[in-house]
Structure 1
Amino acid sequence: MRFSFGMVVTVGAVLAAAPSHAQTFDPRYPVCMHVYSGANGGGGEWYDCSFTSLPQCRATAYGRSAICDLNPYYPVQAPPPHLRYRRSG
């Protein structure tokens, strides 16, 4: 009896757990398009992170209910700071 009760509780806990979502942003591309399809369009909203520039994303988003944003997970390579050397003498 204890085994079956424990099994029922375990199965219930597994089935009741909320599904986890995968990472929305692709870190390989610097620009993402956020598409809003709304309640009438169905499908909800999603991100398409496959753009290399803002003009490219804006051309694709033209005429759609979408907006282009910079990808917050894109690894920005900042230039190294310029080192200044002192002359001694």
Structure 2
Amino acid sequence: MADSTLQLPNSLVIQNVAEWKERFVALLANGGLPSLDASPLKDIDTAGLQLLLAVAVEAEKQGSTINWESTSSELQDFAKVLGVTEPLNLEPA
């Protein structure tokens, strides 16, 4: 697993989710998912959350989990509302 940190954008929405999917696919294909810094993330929609869930599922298939360096309240709140804090390995708020 990579030791670096990947900083997420301030917006992870349908307009940019394909770009971020490519990044995650490349990282997972190379066997290393860095810690994620979601502190800048202020705008996330269901497409963005679905991408993070897909990353979590693929990481689990590889025997890993998403490790968060930090998160935003927006991510925490949205994940809690949709009931996906556990699959995303987010701390209960």
Q: Which has the higher strand share?
A: 1
- TM-score for the superposition, normalised by structure 2: 0.27
- TM-score for the superposition, normalised by structure 1: 0.27
Task: Determine which structure has more spread, i.e. the larger CA radius of gyration.
Answer: 1
Q: Which has the higher helix share?
A: 2
